[in-house]
Amino acid sequence: MLTKPVSPLRLPISNGGFANNEVVLDTPVVLAPMAGITNSAFRTLCREQGAGLFVSEMVTARALIERHPETMRLITPGEGETPRSVQLYAVDPKVVGLAIKMLMEENLADHIDLNFGCPVPKVTRRGGGSALPYKRKLFSEIVHASVKAAAPFGVPVTVKMRVGIDPEHPTYLEAASAAADAGVAWVALHARYASQMYEGKADWSVIAKLVEHLAPTGVPVLGNGDIWSGADGVRMVEETGCAGVVVGRGCLGRPWLFADLVSAFNGESNRAQPTLFEVREIMFRHAELLVTFFESEDRALRDLRKHMAWYLKGFSVVRELRAQFGMVSTLAELRGLLDQLEDQPYPTAVAESPRGRNSHGKPVSLPANWLDDPDEIPAITIDDSVSGG
């Protein structure tokens, strides 16, 4: 339980329909973008649990200005979704400026988050994601261009980053200072190096160091890494002094994690621990939302299949039935399978253990000679036109 109440997280917005000119997150919890996961259907499911801000899947700035159909669909908000939060990946200050200008002029977003944390090779080998902060001048130019493009519309810009490329090349302190100087609303830190991918435990001590480092600027720090329960969120805030938490893999198959975080941050003792019968209704709700998102029952149910093992983790389900969930193709079939489940209490110990991507660490894929000179502004590498991380 928190020893003192956590302060609301504020996103200052000058216009865009908010009477008080800012978005106030009473529970300072943000859903991290996850490729292939955080579409509007999943964001809606998480929002229904009552917490914070929910960011779209990462899209590339280039794909936006080219109006790539899949990218435009990815940034489409769910019904009633506010604020509309879009995460961008870019390697070119001019391109990101144009993309944000487009989003602003067409009133497509209320908040821009810049991705400097993605460790996926197809991103880093082009100098993007977690590779980019090493090129500190380019990093600064991209953040400044983003804030400048969004400022006339009163839309806040935030950044998400990792500790660095690897232990020999940490970047987070210098990059965070540059982001603060550019005028970002907050900095979110995933407490792992890019070389770690998702292995091992996140080192929350670096979040505490960043909080102290940015304290003179007044720019809040959000912590990310290994939030598996409401208690974990509270512990991160207590141990690091961060202003809020960013949740990624912990909510896979567990959108109720946000309700658990709300309860924990409010100092309440009740936990969000649904029975299997309650979980099955959330699963069906997810399927219905995906049908609306994809406008195709077949595609929606194919997409839902990857969530099945996460939803059922820790529950006792016969092998044959688990296999059928992994091949479900219609809402009617899903309903029939769900109705065969026997109710069970929430398997706390197993359900609140690590889940999702557990990639082993490996050297980061980088452009040739990327580490030679951090002050060099490289020839711009064109980013992918296909979004989604």
63-108 pLDDT, tens per residue?
A: 999 999 999 999 999 888 888 999 999 999 999 999 999 999 999 9
Pairing relationship of beta strands 59-60 and 221-224 according to DSSP bridges: unpaired
Distance between CA atoms of residues 252 and 354, nearest Å: 10
Quote the pLDDT of residue 19.
Answer: 35
Pairing relationship of beta strands 221-224 and 53-54 according to DSSP bridges: unpaired
User: Quick one: which of 279, 301, 290 has its CA closest to 41?
Assistant: 290
CA 13 to chain centre: 21
Quote the pLDDT of residue 16.
Answer: 41
Query: Which two three-digit tokens encode residue 176?
Result: 């965070």
Q: What is the largest CA-CA distance in the chain?
A: 61
Distance between CA atoms of residues 188 and 355, nearest Å: 21
Quote the pLDDT of residue 58.
Answer: 93
> Helices (DSSP H) in the chain: which residue ranges?
40-47, 61-65, 69-74, 93-105, 121-124, 136-150, 172-182, 205-214, 230-240, 257-265, 276-294, 297-312, 319-325, 331-338, 348-351
Task: Give the chain's residues under pLDDT 50.
Answer: 14-20, 386-389
Quote the pLDDT of residue 340.
Answer: 97
- Catalytic residue chosen out of the listed positions 46, 118, 242, 251: 118
Quote the pLDDT of residue 15.
Answer: 42
Query: Do 106 and 67 contact (CB within 8 A), yes or no?
Result: no
Query: Which two three-digit tokens encode residue 76?
Result: 């489409």
Quote the pLDDT of residue 381.
Answer: 58
Quote the pLDDT of residue 389.
Answer: 43
Quote the pLDDT of residue 384.
Answer: 56
pLDDT digits (tens, 9 = 90+) for 14-52: 444 333 456 777 788 999 999 889 999 999 999 998 767
> Domains of the chain, with CATH numbers?
9-265 (3.20.20.70), 276-345 (1.10.1200)
Distance between CA atoms of residues 21 and 17, nearest Å: 8
Residue 118 annotated in active site: yes
